C-alpha cells in the first residue's frame, strides 16, 4: 500500500536554489523528517495507516551503523 501512496515533494525537498555557477541545486530534508510525515498518515478512523511499516522503520533506525561492538567482542575474547 505504501508503494502506491502519493508523497508530496515538500516532504523530500527542503528548497531549490541556483548556485553561483548557474546550476540549480536541491537541498533535501533529513530522513527522519520524511519518515515522520509518512508515519503520521492516518486512516479515516484516526488509526495509523502503516503500523507495521512504522515498527520496521524505527527498528532500522536503531540498528548500529558500525562494527565497533563486534570488534570489541573479539578483542575481549582474544
pTM attached to this predicted model: 0.68
Considering the domain boundaries, does residue 2 fall inside one?
no
Half-sphere exposure in the Cβ direction for 35 (13 Å, CA): 13
The mean pLDDT value for 39-61 works out to 91
Whether 3 maps to a domain, the answer reads no
Task: Report if residue 58 sits inside a domain.
Answer: yes
pLDDT at 77: 55
Percentage of residues in the chain having pLDDT higher than 90: 54
Give dist(CA 2, CA 39) in Å, integer: 10
What's the domain count of the chain? 1
pLDDT band at 65 (very low <50, low <70, confident <90, very high): low
Provide the residue range defining the domain that includes 43: 9-73
4 falls within a domain: no
In a domain, 1, yes or no: no
Evaluate whether residue 54 is within a structural domain. Answer: yes
DSSP codes joined into one string, the chain: -GGG----GGGTEEEEEE-TTS-EEEEEPPHHHHHHHHHT-B-TTSSBS-HHHHHHHHHHHHS-SSSHHHHHHHHHH-
- The model's pLDDT over 2-44, given as tens digits with 9 standing for 90+, comes to 888 888 899 999 999 998 998 999 999 999 899 999 999 999 9
Amino acid at each position: 500500500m505504501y508503494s502506491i501512496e502519493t508523497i508530496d515533494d515538500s516532504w523530500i525537498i527542503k528548497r531549490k536554489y541556483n548556485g553561483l555557477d548557474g546550476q540549480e541545486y536541491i537541498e533535501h530534508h533529513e530522513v527522519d523528517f520524511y519518515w515522520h510525515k509518512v508515519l503520521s498518515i492516518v486512516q479515516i478512523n484516526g488509526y495509523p495507516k502503516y503500523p507495521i511499516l512504522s515498527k520496521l522503520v524505527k527498528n532500522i533506525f536503531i540498528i548500529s551503523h558500525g562494527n565497533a561492538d563486534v570488534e570489541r567482542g573479539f578483542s575481549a575474547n582474544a
